[in-house]
Structure 1
Amino acid sequence: MWKEKLDNEYTALSNGIRKEVNITDFGAVGDGVTDCTKAFEEALNGGYVKVIIPEGTFITRGIRLPSHSMLRGQGKGRTILKLHDEASRSARLITNSQHVKGNSHILVEHMTLNWNVERLKDIEITSAGGHYSSCLTYANVQFGWVNSVEAVNPGLHCFDISSALYNYSGDGFRAKRGSRYIWLNHLTGSGFGDDGITTHHSDYIFISNSHMADPSGRAHKEGFSNSNGIEVDDGSRHVVLMNNSTARCFGGVEIKAHHNSSAAANTQIIGHLSVHDNRSYNFRHIGHHQKEDPESLTACDIRATQLVAIEPVFTSLYKDSSPRALVVSAYRNVVVNHFLAIGDPLYDYQKNPVFALQYRSRNITLKNVIGRYFKRAGTDIRLYGGGNRTDNVRIVDSSFFKSAGVTVTVGAGLTHVEISNLKAVLEHNGKCLDLSPTANVDTHSVRVQQSR
Structure 2
Amino acid sequence: MRASEMVQKTMRGNRVKKMGLKVRNQMLISAFFPKYKEAVGLDEGIAETERRFQELEYHLPEQRSAKKWGILTKRNVAGTFSRAAAIKKRPLLEVDWQPLLFAELGWLKDETAAVSVLDFGAVPDGVTDATGAFERAMGNGGRSVSIPEGEFLISGLRIPSNTELIGAGTDRTFLKMKEDAPKFRQGIRNRNLFRGNKRIRLEGFTLDWDADRFPKPERSASGGIASSGITLANVKFALVRDVRVLRPGLHGIDVTSAYYSYKGDGTTSRLRSRYVWIDRVETSGFGDDGITTHHSDFIYISHCYAHHPSGRAHADGFSNSNGIEVDDGSRHVVLHNNATEECFGGVEVKAHQTSSAAYDTQIIGHYSKADNRAYNFRHIGHHREGDEFSGTAIGIRATFLVALSPKPTPLYQKSEPRALVVSAYQKVSISYFAVSDDLHSQVLAVQYRASHVVIAHIFYLGKKPRIVLGKETEDVRVSEIKQWS
TM-score, normalised relative to structure 2: 0.79
- Give the Cα–Cα distance (whole angstroms) in 2 for the partners of residues 200 and 246 of structure 1: 19
Question: Out of 145, 150, 164, which is 1:70 matched to?
Answer: 164
Query: What is the correspondence of 1:8-47 to structure 2 with a 5 Å cutoff?
Result: 8-17=103-112, 19-47=113-141
The question of 1:381 aligning with 2:470 is answered no
Shift of 1:127: 2.6
Question: Out of 221, 233, 248, which is 2:327 matched to?
Answer: 233
- Give the Cα–Cα distance (whole angstroms) in 2 for the partners of residues 215 and 358 of structure 1: 28
Aligned length: 390
Deviations, residues 12-55 of structure 1 (Å, cap 9, x unaligned): 111121x1111011110111110011101100012110000011
User: What's the counterpart of residue 274 of structure 1?
Assistant: 368
User: What's the counterpart of residue 400 of structure 1?
Assistant: 482
Question: Out of 159, 176, 181, which is 1:87 matched to?
Answer: 181
Does the aligned pair in 2 maintain the 1:372–1:400 contact within 8 Å?
no
Secondary structure at 1:225's aligned position in 2?
coil
Q: Structure 1: any 5+ residue segments left out of the alignment?
A: 403-424, 426-452
- Give the Cα–Cα distance (whole angstroms) in 2 for the partners of residues 306 and 65 of structure 1: 37
User: What's the counterpart of residue 340 of structure 2?
Assistant: 246
The question of 1:390 aligning with 2:456 is answered no
The code of the aligned residue for 2:276 comes to I
The code of the aligned residue for 1:292 comes to G
The code of the aligned residue for 2:414 comes to D
Q: Alignment identity in percent?
A: 50
Shift of 1:4: 1.8
Question: Out of 102, 125, 131, which is 2:196 matched to?
Answer: 102
Shift of 1:368: 0.8
The code of the aligned residue for 1:393 comes to V
Larger strand percent: 1
User: What's the counterpart of residue 286 of structure 1?
Assistant: 380
- Give the Cα–Cα distance (whole angstroms) in 1 for the partners of residues 127 and 283 of structure 2: 24
The code of the aligned residue for 2:186 comes to R
User: What's the counterpart of residue 309 of structure 1?
Assistant: 403
Secondary structure at 1:261's aligned position in 2?
coil
Deviations, residues 388-424 of structure 1 (Å, cap 9, x unaligned): x11201123x33349xxxxxxxxxxxxxxxxxxxxxx
Deviations, residues 338-374 of structure 1 (Å, cap 9, x unaligned): 1111112x34x6xxx5100001000000011112323
- Give the Cα–Cα distance (whole angstroms) in 1 for the partners of residues 429 and 175 of structure 2: 41
Query: What is the correspondence of 1:322-361 to structure 2 with a 5 Å cutoff?
Result: 322-344=416-438, 346-347=439-440, 354-361=443-450
Shift of 1:123: 4.7
Shift of 1:282: 0.3
- Give the Cα–Cα distance (whole angstroms) in 1 for the partners of residues 436 and 263 of structure 2: 41
Shift of 1:222: 0.7
Question: Out of 456, 464, 479, which is 1:367 matched to?
Answer: 456
Shift of 1:172: 0.6
Question: Out of 134, 154, 169, which is 1:60 matched to?
Answer: 154
Does the aligned pair in 2 maintain the 1:109–1:148 contact within 8 Å?
yes
Does the aligned pair in 2 maintain the 1:329–1:359 contact within 8 Å?
yes
Which is greater in Rg? 1
Secondary structure at 1:50's aligned position in 2?
strand
Secondary structure at 2:119's aligned position in 1?
helix
- Give the Cα–Cα distance (whole angstroms) in 2 for the partners of residues 236 and 311 of structure 1: 29
Q: Which has the higher contact order (CA 8 A, sep 6+)?
A: 2
- Give the Cα–Cα distance (whole angstroms) in 2 for the partners of residues 43 and 127 of structure 1: 29
User: What's the counterpart of residue 53 of structure 2?
Assistant: none
Does the aligned pair in 2 maintain the 1:89–1:129 contact within 8 Å?
no
Deviations, residues 89-123 of structure 1 (Å, cap 9, x unaligned): 11101010001000000000000010021221245
- Give the Cα–Cα distance (whole angstroms) in 2 for the partners of residues 112 and 101 of structure 1: 28
The code of the aligned residue for 1:372 comes to L
Does the aligned pair in 2 maintain the 1:374–1:380 contact within 8 Å?
no
- Give the Cα–Cα distance (whole angstroms) in 2 for the partners of residues 242 and 7 of structure 1: 18
Q: Structure 2: any 5+ residue segments left out of the alignment?
A: 1-95
Secondary structure at 1:15's aligned position in 2?
helix
Secondary structure at 2:268's aligned position in 1?
coil
Secondary structure at 2:122's aligned position in 1?
coil
- Give the Cα–Cα distance (whole angstroms) in 2 for the partners of residues 361 and 41 of structure 1: 49
Does the aligned pair in 2 maintain the 1:330–1:358 contact within 8 Å?
yes
- Give the Cα–Cα distance (whole angstroms) in 1 for the partners of residues 358 and 212 of structure 2: 33
User: What's the counterpart of residue 19 of structure 2?
Assistant: none
Does the aligned pair in 2 maintain the 1:262–1:299 contact within 8 Å?
yes
- Give the Cα–Cα distance (whole angstroms) in 2 for the partners of residues 122 and 256 of structure 1: 29
Deviations, residues 245-272 of structure 1 (Å, cap 9, x unaligned): 0000000000000011000000000000
Deviations, residues 131-156 of structure 1 (Å, cap 9, x unaligned): 21011000000000000000000000
- Give the Cα–Cα distance (whole angstroms) in 1 for the partners of residues 328 and 233 of structure 2: 14
- Give the Cα–Cα distance (whole angstroms) in 2 for the partners of residues 86 and 123 of structure 1: 18
The question of 1:180 aligning with 2:269 is answered no
User: What's the counterpart of residue 2 of structure 1?
Assistant: 97
Shift of 1:384: 1.1
The code of the aligned residue for 1:249 comes to C
The code of the aligned residue for 1:382 comes to V
- Give the Cα–Cα distance (whole angstroms) in 2 for the partners of residues 129 and 37 of structure 1: 23
Does the aligned pair in 2 maintain the 1:371–1:380 contact within 8 Å?
no
The code of the aligned residue for 2:106 comes to T
